[in-house]
Structure 1
Amino acid sequence: MASPCELLVETQDPLLANHLTSLAYLEAKRIEQKFSRYLSDNLMSTINKSEGTPIAIDNEVFRLLEFAETCFQLSAGMFDITSGVLRQAWKFDGSDNLPAPKVVEALMPFIGWGKVKYDQTSITLDKGMELDFGGIGKEYAVDCVAKVCAEYATTTSVVVNFGGDIQVTRPRQNKQPWLIGIESPEDDNGSTKVLKIVSGGLATSGDARRYLLKDGKRYSHILNPETGYPIENAARSVSVAAPYCIQAGLLATLALLQGANAEAFLQEQGVKFWCYR
């Protein structure tokens, strides 16, 4: 998952805690092995190296592709999982190393969700194109792990936390909320805001650790698929609460893609959010 992952379980039973941890690990590992772009021998690698050859997919992949289609439509084309190919040009490592314009320009022909052909059984990508589920994959994994835990421990509250993307399976037996901290990037002292969560999802997206800084200008890791460059006037961080983590993650990312209009967009959605600039 390219981030710290943890499970919080409201129980005094070590056997239950250990078993839930094992179930969570296996489910997270299954999803990572299948969808991670960091692996060279998994399904995503096969799809991304297919160069026009149709690749067989299962129902889980089809459902994620359908969700990606929904994201694309809701964002008017700004949320595009084919834009991950731009990582070949952009390395958001906190340095001042901006890519040369010709490098970005050379990748633009390989971006375009409308070029992807898929149905319930197969997917075909044009040569040079890639898919990157990074914008929704971790949140999807959180929800899958939470579902496994909730089905096994029907009366136990569990917090699934993968790098700050969170799902709480159900309210605690003592009726107290879980206290969840989110880092505030509005200053540089590492301050943390504590949220009270009874159940549901929470996701945060921002450039606290993934950015470039050159000549006093900060470049967010959220890229515009239409230009190949970072979104202008993007918020430093957006956290959103929603019934499910994948919904929260989508809204947080869509808000960042709105640039200066992030707050107005989230207010229109009628969700609880925290936005820092």
Structure 2
Amino acid sequence: MQAIRQVTCNWQGSFFVTSFKAMASLCEILLALPESQKTLAVHLAEQMAAEVWRIEDAYSRYSGNNLFSDLHASSGKKQQVNAETARLLNFAEQAWHLSDGLFDLTSGLLRKVWVFDGSDRLPDQSEIDALLPFIGWQKLSWQSAPPDARGEIKGGWLTLPEGMELDFGGIGKEYAADRALGMGLHLLEKVKQSFATEGNKWPGLLVNLGGDLACSGPLTKDKPWQVGVESLAIENTASLLLQVSRGGLATSGDSRRFLLKNGKRYSHLLNPLTGWPVEQALRSVSVAAPSCVQAGLVASLALLQAANARSFLTATGLKHWVLD
């Protein structure tokens, strides 16, 4: 039975904070609206949260009876996918190429033998070896439809070999953050005349899905949003305070998901080529980029680079912060 979904909205003195739960995370939407606009703030937050829930419902492997389950029910057969799924698969394919196969949406199968609960339980090599034949983007067949006259992709054709799985968890929250922000801006466009007549500034919005952020503008003209990056040592405590005015910010790390055996820490970030955690991975990387999904990809790719992560991040030219 699905849990009751609700959005709470509270005035914080200069902006609204709305909270809800999605994608196994506590989520927030911050809206730089005047207190007199609470009705609008609640409407925006509810519609933006609904967009996050829509994506979760469609692509979650836990839901069942959804788009994700339909894709896997047709394993071994060529199937047509919708425009949104095509965009996600195109992005995943690009990420796979950019990472030389290290970023792979088919590697979610490894969760069957790896449970990163802070314990010392490591899987046997035989368990990993049994899964590796079903991992590898190159083993599936994906053909995107060509873009139309407006440059839009309308769909595509996927053949997922039997025994293989797709796991959208590596890009799901970041994509949902960008989509929720886009929904908010679309709704604001419809009521922009009310701001012009009241003399209000165009309001900044910030979507926070468990630490993955998408932002449309600052809190005020001269004041950015203040965002904390969680400490590696103390849970629910920020060790970095970043200023965010626009674009995406994503953090990837192993502060909560890891294994520890004989003094060696095993990161939750797995190498799909070997089935084992990446060696010498940084503990935490935060990246700022034009969109949240871009920021999330770069943060993940940096961790996958292991000892070469810092030089990789520098080469991107994007702002980044490392905790190690």
Instruction: State the one-letter code of the partner of 1:3.
Output: S
Q: Report the counterpart of residue 149 of structure 1 in structure 2.
A: 184
Is the partner of 1:98 in helix, strand or coil?
A: coil
- For the pair 1:2 / 2:49, whether they are aligned, the reply is no
Report 1 or 2 for greater relative contact order, CA contacts < 8 Å, sequence distance ≥ 6.
1
Instruction: Tell me if the contact between 2:78 and 2:157 (Cα under 8 Å) persists in the aligned partners.
Output: yes
- For the pair 1:248 / 2:270, whether they are aligned, the reply is no
RMSD: 1.3
Taking every aligned residue pair, what percent have the same amino acid on both sides?
Answer: 50
Runs of 5+ unmatched residues, structure 1: none
- For the pair 1:231 / 2:285, whether they are aligned, the reply is no
Instruction: State the one-letter code of the partner of 1:64.
Output: L
Distance apart, 1:169 and its partner CA: 1.2
Is the partner of 1:153 in helix, strand or coil?
A: helix
Instruction: State the one-letter code of the partner of 2:50.
Output: L
Distance 2:220 2:62 in 1: 39
CA-to-aligned-CA distance 1:193-213 (integer Å, 9 cap, x gap)? 110111111000000111111
Distance apart, 1:188 and its partner CA: 4.3
Distance 1:49 1:211 in 2: 32
Give 2:245's match in structure 1, choosing from 183, 187, 198: 198
Distance 1:172 1:209 in 2: 30
Q: Which moved more, 1:167-176 or 1:222-231?
A: 167-176
Q: Whose radius of gyration is greater, 1 or 2? A: 2
- For the pair 1:136 / 2:171, whether they are aligned, the reply is yes
- For the pair 1:101 / 2:155, whether they are aligned, the reply is no
Distance apart, 1:51 and its partner CA: 2.9
Distance apart, 1:174 and its partner CA: 3.8
Distance 1:86 1:161 in 2: 28
Number of aligned positions between the proteins: 276
Distance 2:80 2:26 in 1: 32
Is the partner of 1:79 in helix, strand or coil?
A: coil
Instruction: Tell me if the contact between 2:105 and 2:168 (Cα under 8 Å) persists in the aligned partners.
Output: yes
CA-to-aligned-CA distance 1:24-50 (integer Å, 9 cap, x gap)? 121011101111122121111222343
Distance apart, 1:191 and its partner CA: 4.3
Q: TM-score, normalised by structure 1?
A: 0.96
Is the partner of 1:4 in helix, strand or coil?
A: strand
- For the pair 1:176 / 2:223, whether they are aligned, the reply is yes
Q: Report the counterpart of residue 86 of structure 1 in structure 2.
A: 110
Is the partner of 2:320 in helix, strand or coil?
A: strand
List structure 1 segments (4+ residues) > 6 angstroms apart after TM superposition. none
Instruction: State the one-letter code of the partner of 1:26.
Output: A
Runs of 5+ unmatched residues, structure 2: 1-22, 144-154, 190-201
CA-to-aligned-CA distance 1:89-111 (integer Å, 9 cap, x gap)? 11111111111111111000000
1:216–1:207 Cα change, 3 Å: same
CA-to-aligned-CA distance 1:198-237 (integer Å, 9 cap, x gap)? 1111000000111111111111111001100000000111
Instruction: State the one-letter code of the partner of 2:81.
Output: I
- For the pair 1:23 / 2:47, whether they are aligned, the reply is yes
- For the pair 1:274 / 2:321, whether they are aligned, the reply is yes
Instruction: Tell me if the contact between 2:32 and 2:204 (Cα under 8 Å) persists in the aligned partners.
Output: yes
